[in-house]
Amino acid sequence: MSSTRHRALEAAVDLVGTHGIRALTHGRIDAAASLPPGSTSNHFRTRAALLAGVIEWIAERERADAGIPDITTRDEFVSALSRMIAAQSGPLAARTRARYALFLEADDDAVRPLREQRAGMEAWVRGILSRLGGEDAAGRTAFLMATGEGLLLHRLTVDPDAPIEAVVARAIDAALDA
């Protein structure tokens, strides 16, 4: 069984991901996690501590769930990025929405763990592009990242069934094309 802290954090992420950052209150988290009143505040005394805990939790979960594979071919890269986008816009959609909400509404210091998480992903993409297509391709990392993020946002907000693999393949091919 999950710890009280774990249950509170999972409920907090779901609340932010479905109702926005203003839904992040100790009482709503206790109710959503079926915890006794005051349970969340035992772990996070202030709203700032709660916000910091949720941000760190998202970053931790994303690191744990990443399963970053060692990529050696274009097809492996297409498959890996496609699976990541499918997961982030499917079973992990509430967490993805929460991450976006926190990026938009929390201050820069608070979202540092999420920015560091994203920087790690960017370094991973840059390394693969460099290995597969050289420094010119690595210079297109921002393009590929923006394309993936745009597709993810599109699936979360407009069309949850939008095709993934064809878009990812085209973006990777464009990044690798010298």
Q: Where do the domains of the chain lie, and which CATH numbers do they carry?
A: 4-176 (1.10.357.10)
Q: How far apart are CA 128 and CA 69, in angstroms?
A: 11
For residue 24, the model assigns a pLDDT of: 93
Tens-digit pLDDT profile for residues 45-54? 999 899 999 9
Distance linking the first and last C-alpha atoms of the chain = 52
Neighbour tally for 89: CB within 10 Å: 23
Residue type, position 57, single letter: W
Question: Residue 87 in contact with residue 62, Cβ under 8 Å?
Answer: no
Q: Is 12 a residue whose pLDDT tops 90?
A: yes
pTM for the whole structure: 0.86
pLDDT tens digit string along 125-136? 999 999 999 999
The helix/strand/coil state of 85 is helix
